[in-house]
Amino acid sequence: MRKITNPKKPLSRREASILSPLRYPGAKRRLAGYVAEVLRLNSLRPKLFVEPFAGGASVSLQLLNDDLVEAVALGEKDPLVTSFWKIVFSDPEWLIERIESIEVTVDNWKYFRANSFRSNKDRALACIFLNRTSFSGILASGSGPIGGYSQKSQYKIDCRFTISTIAKRIRQAARLKDRILFIDRADWRHTLEKVEGMDYGPREVFYYLDPPFYRKARRLYRFYFEEDDHNNLYNALMSIKQPWLLSYDPAKPILELYSHNGRGPKHVDLLYSAAANGNRVKSQELIITNLPYLPKETRLWRSSEEWRQPVSKTCPNGMAKKRTKIKRNGDRHG
C-alpha cells in the first residue's frame, strides 16, 4: 500500500472526472473532492472504501478513478439500483445495446414502472430507463415521467435519455470493475457487518455513509429511513473503529443526535453550495466523522484543483479552534 507521510503534500491525482450514469436524487458528486481532501488530511489511502448507501455511487467512482482508494464495496437496499451496478460491472455492452434500441415512450415508462423484474439484467434496464425518464431521476412511486403523461410540456420524456452520454458513462464506470470488491443488495447493517468480518487492519477501511435524508426521503427513494433507523445508524457508528464519514441533510434532530451524544470522537461540519450569483447559499450538507481532521474550507463547489491547494487543518479531536458551534435552536452552525 502506498504510504502517505506528509498530509500537507497533495497527492498526485488523475484529473478526469467520472460521472455516474444515474441522475441520482441527493447524489454526492460534488462531495468527492471534499472526501478526497479528508483522506489526504488524515493520511489515508484506504484498501477498501465502503458505501453502504450506494445510490449513484458518485463518490466511490471518482475516488477509485483518481486512485485514492484501492477498492470499493457497494451496498444498497434498492434491487433496481444494485442490479444496475452489477450489470454495469459485469456486462456493460449488453446494457448499452438495450439502451440504444429501446423506445423512450410513456408506454415503456409505464411498463417498467408497473412490473417487478426477476433478473439482474431486466432490473438494470428498468433502473436506467426509469432513472433517466422520470422527473429528477426519482424512482419512488410518486414520481411521473418527464414531460407528464400527456407529454404536453416543452421537455419530453427523452430529454435526459442521451444515449451517447449514458453509454460513455457506463463504459467509464465499467473500466473500474476489477476494483469493485462487491455490490450487495443489502441493508446497511449487513454491509457493515460483512466488512467488519473481513481481514483488514486499522485504517485500511473507510466507510462513507450517505443515508436517506431525514426530510423528504420518502418522496425520493423507494427505501427510506424511519426515526428508529437514524438512531440505529448512530448507535452502530459509535462502535466502529475504522474511519468513517457521514453526510446528511442538516435536519435539527440529526444535528442534535450527533452533537449531544458525548460519546467518542465526532466532528460536525456544514458544506455550502454556490448560488447563481456567486454567494453562498444556506447549509446543504452536514458532515460527521470520527476522523480528527476535516478541511477548513467547506464550500461544496470548490474544484478538485482548488482542493489541491494546501489548506490548514481544523483542530484535532476537539475542534477547539475551528470547530463551529452548533446552535441548539437552529439547523445550522456558522
Ligand X SMILES: C[S@@+](CC[C@H](N)C(=O)[O-])C[C@H]1O[C@@H](n2cnc3c(N)ncnc32)[C@H](O)[C@@H]1O
Tell me which residues touch ligand X (CB under 6 A).
Answer: 24, 26-28, 52-53, 55-56, 58, 75-78, 81, 187-188, 210-212, 221, 223-224
Closest approach, Cβ 278 to ligand X, in A, equals: 25
180: β partners: 72
**HEC states along the chain?**
CCCCCCCCCCCCCCCCCCCCCCCCCCCCHHHHHHHHHHHHHCCCCCCEEEECCCCCCHHHHHHHHCCCCCEEEEEECCHHHHHHHHHHHHCHHHHHHHHHHCCCCHHHHHHHHHCCCCCHHHHHHHHHHHHHHEHHHCCCCCCCECCCCCCCCCCCCCCCCCHHHHHHHHHHHHCCHHHEEEEEECCHHHHHHHHHCCCCCCCCEEEEECCCCCCCHHHHCCCCCCHHHHHHHHHHHHCCCCCEEEEECCCHHHHHHHHCCCCCCCEEEEEEEECCCCCEEEEEEEEEECCCCCECCCECCCCHHHHCCCCCECCCCCCCCCCCCECCCCCCEC
Name which of 129 and 221 has its Cβ closer to ligand X: 221
At closest approach, how far in Å is the CB of 40 from ligand X? 20
Other residues' Cβ atoms within 10 Å of the Cβ of residue 272 = 18
Select 27 or 257, whichever has its Cβ closest to ligand X: 27
Residue 293 beta carbon to ligand X: minimum distance, rounded to whole angstroms: 22
Least Å from the CB of residue 82 to ligand X: 9
Residue 101: CB minimum distance to ligand X, A: 27
Q: Nearer to ligand X by C-beta: 80 or 268?
A: 80
Q: Which is nearer to ligand X, 210 or 269 (CB)?
A: 210
Nearest distance from C-beta of residue 320 to ligand X, angstroms: 31
Supply the minimum distance, in Å, between the C-beta of residue 219 and ligand X.
12
Of the two residues 28 and 266, which places its CB atom closer to ligand X in the complex? 28
Distance separating alpha carbons of residues 173 and 168, to the nearest angstrom: 9
Smaller CB separation from ligand X, 28 or 123: 28
User: CB-wise, 52 or 147, nearer to ligand X?
Assistant: 52
